[in-house]
Amino acid sequence: MTTTELPTTPVRPAPRPIDPEKLMAFVFRAVDEVGASLNTALVVMGDALGYYRTMADGASITPSELAERTGTDEHYAREWLAAQAAGNYLDYDPATRTYTLPAEQAAALTDETSPAYLPGFFQLTHGTVRDAAAVIGAARTGDGIGWHAHNGDVHVGCERFFRTMYNAHLIGEWLPALEGVVEKLERGATVADVGCGHGASTILMARTFPRSTFVGSDYHEGSIAIARRRAEQAGVADRVRFEVAPATEFTGSGHDLVTTFDALHDMGDPVGAARHVRHTLADDGTWMIVEPMAGDHVEDNLNPVGRAYYGFSTLLCTPASLSQDVGLALGTQAGPARIRDVATTAGFRRFAAVANTPFNNVLEVRP
């Protein structure tokens, strides 16, 4: 006698009680999130079309006036202005039907010398989100996506965003926080800037310390080509050299200073890179690591900056690491303790957090 087992119906858990007020609060929060997501593209649009720069003087303006002054279509200017007012980026006067850009927003959106300059941050975000489909596919397989595989807004936006911080803090705060480094640079030091991208940090140091020599390295050939052009334009090509090389293979030895700006966590083999830094560093040299602001625990980073960086970590930095050999995938929010582990595993003995901003930790590592 045979028996046939009947198919079983999956048992669903009992529904949890829902608070209608909390539900609707979340729905409206989600609506705000969608508006913010769309606004990323609108800020990029305003930056690209010159809308913000045209309004930087604080004078009131109509859609037709904005369109005329920027050589754009009035229909787009009208909707863009209304969207910006709805997001409190602009002020709107119903009596005159005009818009104004407040002074604070003008500083953040038009003044490239301001430490709060933000268009690069939006451009980086816009480019990152545009590549999300590839990241979704990679998440299914565990594959990575190299930095070189992203669109140009990622590369340009990243440089524009971090260059603002380097201009504001590198020379006046970060380098002076390192023991004896400024004195060496003033006398004449050799410096390796690893993961230099477009060379903003390298060129800034070279302009400030003309007696020192610098070599910037990055595995991304396109970035190095831009860095070389910018060194020529800045008049520092006589003391700055840029090379295409991964972090485990940059050239030179006896460096007085090695710098790594917002790049260590992107590397597939940060320990291997750290060992190479140790091998090429002078016995009394210094490795300055600048990493995104993060605490050592998830709960330390549950804040607006941490939220943005975890987003970049998911969509940009972790895929970049996974695309390389080893693929350690530290993540953008690795925190000082994990960076210390990388350094000590590579043979460094001295490690200290010496400075910070709302967006960066500055770490001093020495033999």
What b/e string do you get for 106-118 counting C-beta neighbours within 10 Å, with b at 16 or more?
Answer: bbbbbeeeeeebb
The residue-averaged pLDDT of 83-94 equals 98
**Side-chain-side CA neighbours of residue 2 (13 Å):** 3
Residues 6+ away with beta carbon under 8 Å from 127: 150, 151, 152, 153, 154, 155, 156, 157
**Bridge partners (DSSP) listed for residue 241:** 215
The residue-averaged pLDDT of 52-74 equals 98
pLDDT digits (tens, 9 = 90+) for 316-339: 999 999 999 999 999 999 999 999
User: Which pLDDT score, from 0 to 100, does residue 1 have?
Assistant: 47
Contact 244, 218 (CB under 8 A): yes
The three-class DSSP label of residue 4 is coil
The CA distance from 170 to 167, in Å, is 6
Same fold across 20-108 and 124-366 = no
pLDDT over 70 (residue 278): yes
Q: What are phi and psi of 79, to 5 degrees?
A: -70, -35
pLDDT digits (tens, 9 = 90+) for 193-239: 999 999 999 999 999 999 999 999 999 999 999 999 999 999 999 99
Range 20-108 has CATH code 2.30.40.10: no
pLDDT digits (tens, 9 = 90+) for 147-172: 999 999 999 999 999 999 999 999 99
Residues 6+ away with beta carbon under 8 Å from 221: 148, 244
Contact 333, 266 (CB under 8 A): no
Residues 6+ away with beta carbon under 8 Å from 228: 199, 237, 242
Please provide the size of the chain in residues. 367
Domain boundaries, the chain: 20-108, 124-366
Confidence of residue 2 (pLDDT cuts 50, 70, 90): low
The CA distance from 366 to 281, in Å, is 9
Token readout for 23 is 């539900």
Contact 247, 218 (CB under 8 A): no
The CA distance from 365 to 286, in Å, is 6
The residue-averaged pLDDT of 164-192 equals 97
The CA distance from 69 to 199, in Å, is 34
Q: What are phi and psi of 364, to 5 degrees?
A: -105, 125
Q: What is the CATH number of domain 124-366?
A: 3.40.50.150
